[in-house]
Structure 1
């Protein structure tokens, strides 16, 4: 379903899971002796920690929230937890990312990334995947000590890109991220990767698609005016 929105001038992409494959982090957990199914629980608890800190007016870095999640769910030593966290520096894009970003840039749409993850992770992964030239800039909300889905993050990103919120879109494989973007006035585009369905308790997404290519195609199909 596509709501009445304008074609964005800038498309911001969530990073972890949406663009980047977390397989190296999963492999690091397995190497540390943890079960291969643990990563989703750790990642979810990481987000819970960050969201809770932000909700009550505090803040913490993504890496610190991830370390806390590991400490709560495993018996790993601080050294082993640090090794697992370092694996975020080895992430690479999913295979469908390059054609999706290229379709946008060839259509004259600016591409950025927007994460509350550690600065440098997106840059390194984009370079590793050979697609850094397709991305205008990488944004981490650590710069303003905030976490998505706080509307402040999305408005900050639109401001940095010098576009009004309604001409900026957020593409994410996480419903909570799309919900936050839409509440801030951005166009939200959700596709199925890490979640099977979009949460019904949220506002319907402006764009929903079965895959990343479909989400990008739907945004490009929106009217210019």
Structure 2
């Protein structure tokens, strides 16, 4: 089935919408190298994916703490300070116009994360765009991690739409790949990643930036 214009667009949160710069700054303030964050963030995802694949579960914050403990000599109290910086995130500069474009087109917008509840809401509020988002969903509610198929099906159910009427926009190709397995329309654009890997199922939309991803979704034919 070819992709059609979605009724609901779900956005990934960390990196896709919210800039992780405050977390990087917290690490630097504690004497850690500025380039440590990408490795810690990647190991956080690895930790969460591993627990989910093995049939267990852990919170994002606990996975982040474990990843940071493996990558740095920081004591527990300092690691907690760094984790707290996730509540200081702000949206990237291109987020507000993208969300507003969808709102003006009558498309519902939600966020979908496996991150800690409250992070998305705090960042959107700080950026003045909370009113453009219908609701923020964290898969901690169902104790699993994206890209498990169940997360996207759960999100579609919460939003009361069929999966094929929901799209996921993410700067992480693995997230888009997971959404595709659940029947969502997947849209990818780059931030930290350079290309959409060919080992994943093809995304309906591969755009050069967030604005391009949103424009392409709105240009899809109606169902």
Q: Does 1:31 align with 2:29?
A: yes
- Alignment partner for residue 147 of structure 1, among 118, 122, 145? 145
Name the SS of the counterpart of 2:81 in structure 1: helix
Cα deviation for residue 76 of structure 1 reads: 0.2
Residue 8 of structure 2 corresponds to which residue in structure 1? Answer: 10
TM-score, length-scaled by structure 2 = 0.99
Cα deviation for residue 200 of structure 1 reads: 1.4
Residue 157 of structure 1 corresponds to which residue in structure 2? Answer: 155
Correspondence 1:1-225 to 2 at 5 A: 4-225=2-223
Extract unaligned runs of 5+ from structure 2: none
Cα deviations across residues 69-124 of structure 1 (Å, max 9, x unaligned)?
00000000000000000000100000000000000010000000000000000001
Cα deviations across residues 19-57 of structure 1 (Å, max 9, x unaligned)?
000000000000111100010000000000000000010
Name the SS of the counterpart of 1:12 in structure 2: strand
The number of residue pairs the alignment matches comes to 223
Extract unaligned runs of 5+ from structure 1: none
C-alpha distance in structure 1 between counterparts of 2:147 and 2:212, whole Å: 23
Cα deviation for residue 204 of structure 1 reads: 1.2
The 4+ residue runs of structure 1 with deviation greater than 6 A are none
Name the SS of the counterpart of 1:60 in structure 2: coil
